[in-house]
Amino acid sequence: MEYRLKPIGKQLVRVCHRSLSHNHCRVRVAALKAVCRLTMCGAHDAIYELTAYRDPNLVPIKAFYEPVPKTQYLAMLATDKNSVVRKELYTTVACWLRELGERKEHECRLLYLLAGFQDACPHLQMLAFELTEGVGLQYEEENENEVKDTRTYLAEETDDIVSVCGTPLPHPFKKRPCLGARIMVKSVAAIILHAISMDIECWTMGTKELAANFLLTLLFFVESHITMHLMPLLKIMHRAIGEPSISNKILESAKVLGFFVPPDSYLPLMMPRIHGDVSADVSVHTLGHALQLLDGILAGSSPEHILPHIPEICSTLTDRHIMTSIQQSVNDGVVAVAKQLIRAWDQNVCAQEVSAMLWLLLNAAAASDFCSRSPHEAESAIQALASASGNDSGEAIIAFYVDEILEILPHPRKWALRSLDGLIKAFGYCIRKAADDDVKLRLIRAVEQLLTKGEFEWAQGKRHIGNMWESFLVPCLQQEDVLVPPTLNAIVSIWSKSIPKEVTIKRPFHDTEDALMRAIEKVVRKHSKEEAEEVVATNGDLGDQEKLLEEKRFQEFMKKASIPPIDAPMVDQIKAKCMESHLNLANGMRF
């Protein structure tokens, strides 16, 4: 029978094409069985027509004058709504890969068998896995020498994998695919990856989701051999991670990629996408996606593999265009990557990177105000960094490394107005977390240096000075429990230097000024009350007239410390009187 059908087998398969798209599922199943039988009788060339493939060197003359429609019947059957049709397709493809005499030419048809791993029916997923295992075992029998060398010299290729980073293998992987199946998929990985890159950028949502699921399946088969295709793979994942519908699946694939591929391979390709190398085709909008992808890959890598690369990654993350970014995706990505680095932190190896990592997280916590979200993630990362570096708490690590943080800051003349808000808010976060008054004083002195040595133009920086007082100095004054006169002196000194005399103050700054005056009044009254109690304990109670006189003096001081009305110009005498009045109060004046 086979010899009789061979001359006309290809023509008979063409006759079955219309039946493969019939309305009734039973007709489609019968046509598929007939096609399977005919291809086994010498009509294997008909498989190319089923996949709409045409040799580019054999173009019919008709195609030059009018379009020639082509139908991808196997792809149509792989997405058939009837599970019986899909089951028959998987069985047919497995039969081709196991029994066809020319099966070497059609190993790329493994693509349709792997599509069964994304089938809607769980039992068909299991069938696809079992059929793939059967094809792989037959490959091992036919290529015994190749498999023998692999098992002898690469023992890890035969070890079973039951989980990836503590997560069990996804359904339908009951175990690690056999060696033969992995070798076969590896040989066609480039073809499959190209198909995934086309589908994952499709405008239809269903196609995107299938491509993302297919990518995860491919990684479980190719494993570490995906390193050969790492550049196009990272490009695909970088573009796809921005799609909300498939971002979680891409992150899962990134975790699997990090599990099988060492950081030495993917970091040289990922770092240019983060630090803005022109050759990497990076824009500001995709920086957050690159950080998110790096976080997913690092999540799959082991701590001992990440540890040698912590200095390199820290150096990239502390770049100014990353630390001063106000995009929420960038800020979230920085914190997520920092957590992965802290997971692999070693107190002895990474001692020199603590200050840079701390400054990075402080900026991330400060940037949460711009992103309108809670700084909880950055704060938890600071606590984790403190624990990993041998400190008791986040407050302790800030107090211990505040000098190093101030040393790594650039010269005030290089501080840009765009980054000033983030800098001030980061200092404000230190103020709120630091329990030592000496730490507050050093940070306040750094801000004073900004005003005295930096090229700060009032015409361009009104909003920044307002933020400085609102986010940094006023919260410092509100912590009056540990505030000492030297710190208060520094604040008043900054207050007198931050308002040029030639500028008329606008209404928004008066709101901050009111908050500042209330904070100063609260602190000064507290210190005055303590001094008065000491005087009462020494000399007895003061008279009512003396109390009224001291209250009048206090009101005069607050009036002098205040800025003038909106339409009144600033005068130099206010600065001097403000400083003089406060110094007198600090030296023992009582109210």
My answer on whether omega of the bond before 172 falls inside 30° of 0, hence cis, is yes
The H or E element spanning position 163 is: strand 163-164
Percentages of the chain per state (helix, strand, coil), in multiples of 5: 75, 0, 25
- Total residue length of the chain: 591
In this structure, how many other beta carbons lie within 10 angstroms of the beta carbon of residue 282? Answer: 18
| Domain spans, the chain | 1-144+174-187, 262-408, 444-591
Report the half-sphere exposure of 546 (CA within 13 A, side-chain side). Answer: 10
CA-to-CA distance for 192 and 254, rounded, in angstroms? 17
CA-to-CA distance for 456 and 315, rounded, in angstroms? 28
Identify the pLDDT of residue 492. 56
The tokens for 430 are 């230190």
CA-to-CA distance for 424 and 408, rounded, in angstroms? 15
Architecture of the 1-144+174-187 domain: Alpha Horseshoe (1.25)
Identify the pLDDT of residue 45. 84
In this structure, how many other beta carbons lie within 10 angstroms of the beta carbon of residue 411? Answer: 9
Identify the pLDDT of residue 437. 57
Residue partners of 103: CB distance under 8 A and separation at least 6: 96, 97
Residue partners of 239: CB distance under 8 A and separation at least 6: 200, 201
Give the Å distances, CA to CA, from 20 to 76, 84, 200, 463, 487: 9, 13, 27, 70, 84
CA-to-CA distance for 139 and 179, rounded, in angstroms? 9
Do residues 252 and 293 touch, judged by C-beta distance below 8 A?
Answer: no
Do residues 18 and 29 touch, judged by C-beta distance below 8 A?
Answer: no
Identify the pLDDT of residue 280. 46
DSSP assignment of 488-528 equals HHHHHHHHHHSS-TTSPPPHHHHHHHHHHHHHHHHHHHHHH
CA-to-CA distance for 339 and 334, rounded, in angstroms? 9
**Burial classification of residue 156, based on how many CB atoms lie within 10 Å of its CB (0-12 exposed, 13-18 middle, 19 or more buried):** exposed
In this structure, how many other beta carbons lie within 10 angstroms of the beta carbon of residue 524? Answer: 22
Any idea which residue has 């406060």 for tokens?
582
The tokens for 451 are 């005003």
Report the half-sphere exposure of 450 (CA within 13 A, side-chain side). Answer: 29
Look up the pTM and report it.
0.74
Give the Å distances, CA to CA, from 102 to 40, 47, 77: 10, 11, 23
Buried b (16+ CB within 10 A) or exposed e, 366-399: bbbbebeeebebbbebbbbbbbbbebeebbbbbb
Do residues 399 and 413 touch, judged by C-beta distance below 8 A?
Answer: no
Give the Å distances, CA to CA, from 261 to 165, 182, 266, 341: 13, 16, 7, 17
Do residues 112 and 191 touch, judged by C-beta distance below 8 A?
Answer: no
Do residues 313 and 338 touch, judged by C-beta distance below 8 A?
Answer: no
CA-to-CA distance for 186 and 228, rounded, in angstroms? 10
Identify the pLDDT of residue 443. 62
- Tell me the pLDDT of the chain (591 aa) as tens digits: 556 677 787 888 888 988 998 999 999 999 999 999 888 887 788 888 888 887 778 787 887 888 777 888 998 999 899 999 999 999 999 999 999 888 888 888 899 999 999 999 999 999 999 999 999 999 999 988 888 888 877 767 777 787 887 888 888 998 999 999 999 999 999 999 999 999 998 888 888 999 999 999 999 999 989 999 999 999 999 999 989 899 999 999 999 999 999 999 999 999 988 876 644 455 656 888 999 999 999 999 999 999 999 999 998 888 877 876 778 888 889 999 999 999 999 888 888 888 888 888 877 877 776 666 777 888 888 889 989 988 888 777 877 777 777 666 654 444 444 445 555 556 666 655 555 556 655 666 666 555 554 444 443 444 445 555 555 555 555 555 444 455 555 555 555 555 444 333 444 445 555 555 665 666 556 555 555 555 555 555 545 555 555 565 555 545 544 444 434 443 333 344 444 444 454 454 444
Do residues 9 and 38 touch, judged by C-beta distance below 8 A?
Answer: yes
Identify the pLDDT of residue 56. 75
CA-to-CA distance for 320 and 409, rounded, in angstroms? 11
Identify the pLDDT of residue 286. 81
Residue type, 312: E
Any idea which residue has 């990134």 for tokens?
254
Residue type, 234: L
The H or E element spanning position 448 is: helix 437-453
Do residues 490 and 448 touch, judged by C-beta distance below 8 A?
Answer: yes
